[in-house]
Structure 1
Amino acid sequence: MEDIILWLKYLFLGIVQGATEPIPVSSSGHLIIAQKLLGLKQNGLSFEILTNTASLIAICFIFRKDIGRLIGGFFGFIRTRKPEYKSDFLFSVYVVIGTVPAVIVAALFKDQIEEIFSSVRTVSIALLFTGVALWLIRNLRGRKQDGDLTARDAVLVGLAQAVALIPGISRSGATVISSIAVGMKQETALRFSFMLYIPVSLGGLVLGVSDIAHDPNRSALAIPYIIAFFTTLIVTYFSMRWFMGIMAKGNLKYFSYYCFVAGILFLIFL
């Protein structure tokens, strides 16, 4: 019976991770809240790495055509210098530029950030800040498409992604908000946001392989981890599809309402 209850808890964590990773409400913050409510405490990064990897697979599958086109355009422009490849080449370069701030901050300060900012109170306050930011850009409609981006845009969005290392600050929210704030169209903002997610998540996976290999709970929690992984994979796919529809309609204000309500409730009751 205890095993079944534990499996159900990890099933719930997988649902939370999968549902919140693509949308601007902070998956890391919600996992901290969910683990507190369930009485679970994760030692090490194995669980985080596994569930993030599941989300990464789902998101890569959804954006597989964009990824293929960008890779082809990048190398096509280097090889031929044909103008039809230039837009995809520059977009790829800007993804690399936008990734750098988060990589530097994570390499230097990730452990300290998680130690200082992983309390429920901090997560609650961060959700309120996310709600304010979403509210401020709710009516913005940019004009920049893929070929109109600049290195400055990439740096600003990359800095926002670095700030999102703080639990409770949504990575997708920070990058989508900053992308829209610098003038990107909704579709371009969404694509750029999740292209930035891919290298950061891949880097986390590569660096975290040793954590998984040396996890003392790996055998005891094998089944719960597998349940959480596949739950996250499936739920992320459907959550991402849903969020793409929301972005197309420009209804980000509803996420702002959610962040306000959740942040206040977490502050009062947890």
Structure 2
Amino acid sequence: MEFYESFSLLLKYIFFGLVQGFTEPIPISSSGHLVIVQNLFGLKLENLSFEILVNFGSLIAVLIIYKNDILRLIQNGLRFIVKKERDAKEDFDFILYLIIATIPAGVIGLLFEEQIGLIFSKPQQIGITLIITGIGLWIIRNIRGRKNDGALTLKDAIIIGLAQSVALIPGISRSGATIVAAMLLGMKQETALRFSFLLFIPISFGTLLLSIDDLFTPELKTMWLPYLLAFIAAAVATYFSLKWFMNIMARGNLKYFAFYCFIAGFIAFILL
């Protein structure tokens, strides 16, 4: 019986790690799906440390996929600051816009994230916000923007940052909100996708640093294996999910995510 319970616990955490990891990069809301899955299967995750850890796993995957962009931005950003080389200004501005876009969600999350999570915690509420996410994706399904990295403006950064802050509400996809905002502002799909996921990095790092005390709890000593497996599952699932989503974006098939959000939202609202 003890072996069965231990094995079931491992499977539970691997499952949640896969759900969070797979849904993190695609525009269907990872936080909303964790709520739905817990209610659907009668499973509960009470501890904040789990969410921090699987989010870190997703962050590792994003860093790996965008490592070349990150290195280029750092190198050219330093070149512009130190040597004032004009050909590096575009990447310096891109970094500046990422910083600006991080501020709204950072401030609102720091002040109100816990309250937002408590208010929007019921499956019916998640259903409504998933449908809202689907509407946003449906609106941009056929949009083909022209703005590349060098055409971004301060206004673009502020609007995308505000969109990211709206995604603090469970069921509103972070990637969905930022990509919808970016494409409505006229960005190319590739630029919108890159800006969205490079924007995920400082937010995720900030959450990790601010919540580090919640991660190292006495429970970690007994739960290290389930947590480790969930971390690995989230990292692997995010990596392949984001690669898949990049191909979907390139083909302009966002309407399928809109359909999914409508169906999942309806199920959460009516059946749970």
- TM bin, normalised by shorter chain, reads over 0.9
Q: How does 1:78-97 map to 2 (within 5 A)?
A: 78-97=81-100
TM-score by length of 1: 0.97
Residue of structure 2 equivalent to 1:12: 15
2:126 touches 2:269 (CA, 8 Å); kept in 1? Answer: no
Are residues 252 and 55 of structure 1, via their aligned partners in 2, closer, same or farther at CA, if it must alter by over 3 Å? same
Residue of structure 1 equivalent to 2:249: 247
CA distance in structure 2 between the aligned counterparts of 1:37 and 1:223, rounded to whole angstroms: 25
Q: How well do the aligned residues superpose, as a CA RMSD in angstroms? A: 1.0
CA shift digits 1:44-89 (9 cap, x unpaired): 4201100000000001000000000111111111111111101100
Residue of structure 2 equivalent to 1:179: 182
Unaligned residue ranges in structure 1 (runs of 5+)? none
Residue of structure 2 equivalent to 1:269: 271
CA distance in structure 2 between the aligned counterparts of 1:94 and 1:252, rounded to whole angstroms: 25
CA distance in structure 1 between the aligned counterparts of 2:140 and 2:52, rounded to whole angstroms: 31
Query: Pick from 15, 21, 25: which aligns with 2:24?
Result: 21
* Equivalences, count: 269
**1:122 Cα shift?**
1.1
Q: How does 1:1-270 map to 2 (within 5 A)?
A: 1-214=4-217, 216-270=218-272
**1:39 Cα shift?**
2.9
Unaligned residue ranges in structure 2 (runs of 5+)? none
Fraction of identical pairs, as percent: 54
CA distance in structure 2 between the aligned counterparts of 1:165 and 1:232, rounded to whole angstroms: 20
1:9 touches 1:38 (CA, 8 Å); kept in 2? Answer: no
TM-score by length of 2: 0.97
**1:219 Cα shift?**
2.6
CA distance in structure 1 between the aligned counterparts of 2:55 and 2:174, rounded to whole angstroms: 12
